[in-house]
């Protein structure tokens, strides 16, 4: 079995603290991730759900497909490669904001689907409204 010797425990603790704190995306990347969140193309979860002091979020980006992939351009900075998925550790503020955007997108799409379910296309197309 291979043994890893630690020479500076303080440095290791500092590195772990950086990961636990997460990091912020810049404005351009945050806006792109927010668009993906609104479409439901992200997965968010707390970084360490068992630790109440850890407020960071784990973000998984799903690659776009179909019409969304044709319409929304995602920077290679975000995904590394155009169709690759990637995992990020976000700080508490941006993670919570993305969770809210995700929720808004889901609620909006559900409202549109409910409206579509009760819409009567026939009467709209073949009868005058006056």
Q: What residue spans of 6-120 are helical by DSSP H?
A: 9-21, 27-39, 66-71, 76-79, 92-118
pLDDT band with cut points at 50, 70 and 90 for residue 100: very high
pLDDT score of 79 more than 70: no
Query: Is 38 part of any domain?
Result: yes
In a domain, 5, yes or no: no
CB-count burial class (<10 Å; 0-12, 13-18, 19+) for 61: buried
pLDDT in tens, 6-63: 677 777 777 777 777 888 888 988 998 999 999 998 999 998 889 888 889 999 988 7
Domain of residue 39: give its range.
Answer: 21-126
Average pLDDT over residues 88-113: 95
What's the structural domain count of the chain?
1
Span between the terminal Cα atoms of the chain, in Å: 84
Q: Is the pLDDT of residue 128 over 80?
A: no
Question: Phi/psi at 80 (nearest 5 deg)?
Answer: 80, -60
The answer to whether residue 46 is domain-embedded is yes
pTM, 2 dp: 0.74
| Assigned domain for 95 exists | yes
Is residue 62, in this structure, part of any structural domain at all? yes
């Amino acid at each position: 079995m291979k043994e890893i010797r630690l020479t500076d425990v303080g440095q290791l603790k500092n590195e772990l603290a950086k990961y636990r704190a997460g990091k912020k995306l810049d404005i351009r990347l945050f806006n792109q991730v927010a668009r993906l969140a609104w479409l439901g193309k992200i997965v968010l979860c707390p970084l360490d759900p068992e630790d109440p002091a850890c407020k960071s979020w784990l973000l998984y980006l799903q690659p776009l497909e179909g019409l969304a992939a044709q319409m929304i351009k995602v920077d290679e900075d975000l995904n590394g490669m155009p169709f690759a998925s990637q995992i990020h550790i976000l700080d508490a503020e941006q993670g919570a904001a993305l969770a809210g955007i995700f929720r808004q997108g889901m609620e909006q799409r559900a409202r549109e689907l409910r409206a579509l379910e009760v819409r009567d296309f026939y009467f709209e197309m073949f009868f005058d409204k006056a």
